[in-house]
Amino acid sequence: MTHLATYPGTVSSSVLERPSSPVTGPAPLRLGALTVEPAVVLAPMAGITNPAFRTLCREFGAGLYVCEMITTRALVERNEKTLQMVRATPDEEDAFSVQLYGVDPATVGRAVEMLVDEGVAGTRPAHVDLNFGCPVPKVTRKGGGSALPWRRVLFRDIVRAAVRAARDVPVTVKTRIGIDADHVTYLDAGRIAQDEGAAAITLHGRTADQLYSGTADWAPIARLVEAVDIPVLGNGDVWEADDALRMVAETGCAGVVIGRGCLGRPWLFGDLAAAFAGETRRALPTLREVAAVMHRHAALLSEGQGERHGCTDFRKHVAWYLKGFSVGSDVRRALAMVSALDELAELLAGIPDQPYPEAVLGGPRGRTSPPRPVALPEGWLADRDDPRPPAGAELLVSGG
């Protein structure tokens, strides 16, 4: 595990006070034969959770690290980019985790068969997750992602096909509260997923029309815990390890799924491991230490993509890593145009060291957007029991 300078128990802004005695997290998460300890899962994020980022996060703490979302149609069609995206790294051989997106039960089943039986990932996955939570318009307007659980029979058929094809590999489901406040789906989705043999379900505490705006509502997570017997994982607004402890305490969830909170902060997984073990230490790296992590991240990307492409891919992470630090706009612009590791190292070395900006702790990271009506196929809401896959809904290219 990578070690950073630590500090004793800084409290995130979303926690009113720290308990006087240490608080521990949930028990290890069991998904079939797979044990996840601590019960922490990296959420799939398009363009982010590639092999380099998964490796970096794993170096800081244990957990389950899921690859970018893979579309089942692209996998079945053996799209070259998709086949590359679904490759496991050497240190993922025992716990390679894949998230699939699909709207057709037959295609989803075939994609799972390819992963489990044909080894198209280079190694047999230890876990398959199904995406029913994506809120972006290009997905929902075709009935996919967070729009799909409204069609509960179709949802059932997709989960059933995946579980049967996966055989002994655990299948989980990730979803949202619903399409909007008038079209709530999470309780039905949880019960159906359980009945069809899903090993767990993750609930993001927002509706699709909220996108990533406002504050996540954790109350439905608690209600889902009461409604089903399978493990429920909580997702939404876990910015600090203490937020994770609070989510577990308030909802009774069996673990947490971390998305935007780790952007520019892969050491959050070390904080989570410590928090779940009852320890109060939290990482508070200096800028010099953050710079070392930045260079490591870029180097890992370069190993997989070549130096120029790797450094170009790294550019989007710069603002997240440097959030709150005092860094001149000219240096930030130069870092956002970096194309070589030596260039990156030189620019980072020229920034004076400084303590971590505690003011940014507990605050949102990554994308935000105002609420907006969900784009749906025509007539999508008319019949919840229509089992037909939406016409033309399959996406060929993965990562969305």
Catalytic residues: 134
Q: CA 338 to CA 347: how far, in whole Å?
A: 9
Q: CA 35 to CA 136: how far, in whole Å?
A: 32
Q: What are phi and psi of 100, to 5 degrees?
A: -115, 145
CB 40 within 8 A of CB 266: no
- Cα distances from 315 to residues 264, 308, 322, 360, in angstroms, run 11, 11, 12, 21
CB 201 within 8 A of CB 228: yes
Burial 65-81 (b: 16+ CB within 10 A, else e): bbbbbbbbbbbbeebee
Is 244 buried (19+), middle (13-18) or exposed (0-12) by CB count in 10 A? Answer: buried
234 three-state secondary structure? strand
Nearest by Cα to 341 from 309, 387, 365, 385: 309
CA trace torsion 139, 92, 84, 318 (10° rounding): 70
DSSP category for residue 66: B
Q: Under 8 Å CB-to-CB from 182, ≥6 apart: which residues?
A: none
Q: CA 162 to CA 170: how far, in whole Å?
A: 10
CB 236 within 8 A of CB 364: no
DSSP category for residue 304: H
Tell me how crowded residue 392 is: count the other CB atoms within 10 A of its CB.
10
CB 208 within 8 A of CB 147: yes
Task: State whether the Cα torsion 173-175-177-178 is positive or negative.
Answer: negative
